[in-house]
Amino acid sequence: MDGSCSAQEVRERKQTKQVFTVVTDSAASIPREMEERYQVSVVPIWIQAGNRTYREREDISTEGFYEMMQGEEIPCTSSPPPGEFIKIYRQLAARFKEILSIHITAKGSATYQTARMAVEFVKEAKVTVYDSGTVSMGTGFLVLEAAKAAMDGLKVEDIIPRLDAIKARMHAFVAIPTLQYLRKSGRVSQGQAILGSVLSVKLVLELKDGILKVVDKVRKYPKALERILDLACAAVGSAPSKVAVMHANCQEEAVKLCQKVKERINVKELVVGEVGASLAVHGGPGMTGIVLYTV
């Protein structure tokens, strides 16, 4: 569910002369229906397992990805090659003078830098690459804000200050049910993972300044979910806020958390969605996060 524009409002926006369009990567975790409604183009992050490479959401299903995670081959991610960006930029340049390309934090992925490299080979349109400084629907909220502005006929230079202001107010908190996948992906050492398993430690993380930081360690996962909700409430207070509850293959738990969010936060817009494989590969199934900012 979400409190975004109605279909009628989107049609009215489309009647305005649109100068630029928006590109992002699949780590933004934007629900497909919203991507289509706001005409957002998405470049898939690459998932690698053994000697095989998959494009997120294109070459492998969500079910297939989680089955893969149970196998011996440890999946990892890589940014799309420059050619993927060049291809989509040139396709869009046939219809738009400008392109705004908004991507996962540059401190956690090479995707932003790869997009910037690709721009050097695209002369057909002006391409601006923007570092969201965040992940998942943190990036997604910025993308949707830019896409709505594009439909309103604004220029890229008009929307950048607005994105900067939203980014400064963006908060993201994540509950991790097991250290197993963080260890496999190299985000924690094997020693830390073993210790965490012995102690049944569940991590509570915050994305701050583009980097995930541990803010708490608890013994039970329900407590970790309570903790991210407490942190989210403290971050926005009573101010009206746009909120996303994102999960990795745990829809039921996410829905329950949404109800608590609505009871404790002044929600103006609520998005419930599943994080993509490019993020779930690090936190594993059961990972749940809250992304929000005041409006």
Please list, residue by residue across 232-267, b when 16 or more beta carbons sit within 10 angstroms of its beta carbon and e when fewer do.
bbebbeeeebbbbbbbbbbeebbeebbeebeeebeb
Query: How many helices (H) and strands (E) are present in the chain, helices listed first?
Result: 12, 13
Q: What does the alpha-carbon distance between residue 59 and residue 271 come to, in Å, rounded to a whole number?
A: 25
Q: What does the alpha-carbon distance between residue 45 and residue 47 come to, in Å, rounded to a whole number?
A: 7
Query: Can you give the residue ranges of every domain in the chain?
Result: 7-45+80-168, 170-294
Residue 5 pLDDT level (bands cut at 50, 70, 90): low
Tell whether domain 7-45+80-168 is in CATH 3.40.50.10170: yes
Q: What is the pLDDT of residues 243-278, one digit of tens each?
A: 999 999 999 999 999 999 999 999 999 999 999 888
The pLDDT value given to residue 191 = 45
Q: What is the pLDDT of residues 182-226, one digit of tens each?
A: 766 555 444 454 444 545 689 899 998 888 888 999 989 999 999
Domain boundaries 170-294, corresponding CATH code: 3.30.1180.10
Q: What is the pLDDT of residues 100-113, one digit of tens each?
A: 999 999 998 999 99
Share of the chain above pLDDT 90, in %: 69
The residue type found at 231 is: L
Tell me the backbone φ, ψ of residue 3, rounded to 5 degrees: -105, 30
The residue type found at 142 is: L
Average pLDDT over residues 6-31: 81
The model's pTM is 0.90
The pLDDT value given to residue 112 = 97
The pLDDT value given to residue 71 = 77
* pLDDT over 90 at 242, yes or no: yes
Tell me the backbone φ, ψ of residue 271, rounded to 5 degrees: -115, 130
Q: What does the alpha-carbon distance between residue 246 and residue 265 come to, in Å, rounded to a whole number?
A: 16
* pLDDT over 50 at 72, yes or no: yes
Q: What does the alpha-carbon distance between residue 212 and residue 187 come to, in Å, rounded to a whole number?
A: 10
The pLDDT value given to residue 257 = 97
Within the chain, residue ranges assigned H as helices are: 7-14, 32-37, 62-69, 82-93, 111-119, 136-151, 156-169, 180-184, 190-199, 221-236, 251-264, 277-283
Share of the chain above pLDDT 70, in %: 88
